[in-house]
């Protein structure tokens, strides 16, 4: 018998953290799509999840991978050849100011900053989510913050 909570409880408990991370990682317009992909992948793999594991860290790792997939797919999309017409953009909060600057960071720095400040994860969980050592995660976070300070000063 498994001691895993029902999947809906997992979703209810960690949805805000995952969505907050994804808004910071891919922007508010694409975060919901990545959020759905994250939880679909998690639902498929949930029955095989080991006992005693860190469910929140596992979900954020999946979200991190979905964010990477999103950025890779976006880089393969066709680019317009002419000038695009200017369209007024409505202010959506997290896409402006500091989160816009975070979105401009290199992928590992962006993920480390988002996981630390949007999800309040410790360095060990950030390292697990980005697939690096704790020291490398600290360095990515440090470099990201340093770039943000320089850009926003």
pTM value is 0.58
Question: Closest Cα to residue 22, out of 14, 30, 31, 13?
Answer: 31
- DSSP letter at 6 equals P
Domains and CATH numbers, the chain: 7-80+94-152 (1.20.140.160)
CB count in 10 Å sphere of residue 128: 19
Contact 60, 129 (CB under 8 A): yes
- The CB density around residue 140, as the number of other CB atoms within 10 Å, is 26
- 26: tokens are 């891919």
Tokens of 34: 């990545």
Please write the tens of the pLDDT for every residue from 84-99: 566 555 555 445 678 7
Which residue has 């991190």 as its token pair? 64
3-class DSSP string for 35-96: HHHHHHHHHHHHHHCCCCCCHHHHHHHHHHHHHHHHHHHHHHCCCCCCCCCCCCCCCCCCCC
For each of the chain's 153 residues, which pLDDT tens digit applies? 457 888 999 899 999 999 999 999 999 989 999 999 999 999 999 988 877 678 999 999 999 999 999 988 877 766 666 665 665 555 554 456 787 888 888 988 998 998 888 888 889 988 888 888 999 999 999 999 999 888 887
H or E element that contains 134: helix 134-152
Q: Contact at 8 Å (CB) between 23 and 118?
A: yes
């Amino acid at each position: 018998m498994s001691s895993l909570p029902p999947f809906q409880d997992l979703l209810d408990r960690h949805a805000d953290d995952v969505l907050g991370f994804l808004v910071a990682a891919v922007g508010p317009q694409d975060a919901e799509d990545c959020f759905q992909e994250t939880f679909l992948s998690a639902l498929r793999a949930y029955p095989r999840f080991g006992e005693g594991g860190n469910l929140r860290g596992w979900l954020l790792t999946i979200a991190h991978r979905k964010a990477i997939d999103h950025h890779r797919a976006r880089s393969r999309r066709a680019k317009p050849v002419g000038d695009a017409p200017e369209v007024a953009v409505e202010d959506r909060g997290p896409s402006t100011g500091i989160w816009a600057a975070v979105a401009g960071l290199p992928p590992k720095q962006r993920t480390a900053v988002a996981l630390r400040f949007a999800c309040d994860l410790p360095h060990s969980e950030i390292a697990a989510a980005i697939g690096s050592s704790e020291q490398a995660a600290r360095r990515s976070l440090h470099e990201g913050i340093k770039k943000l300070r320089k850009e926003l000063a």
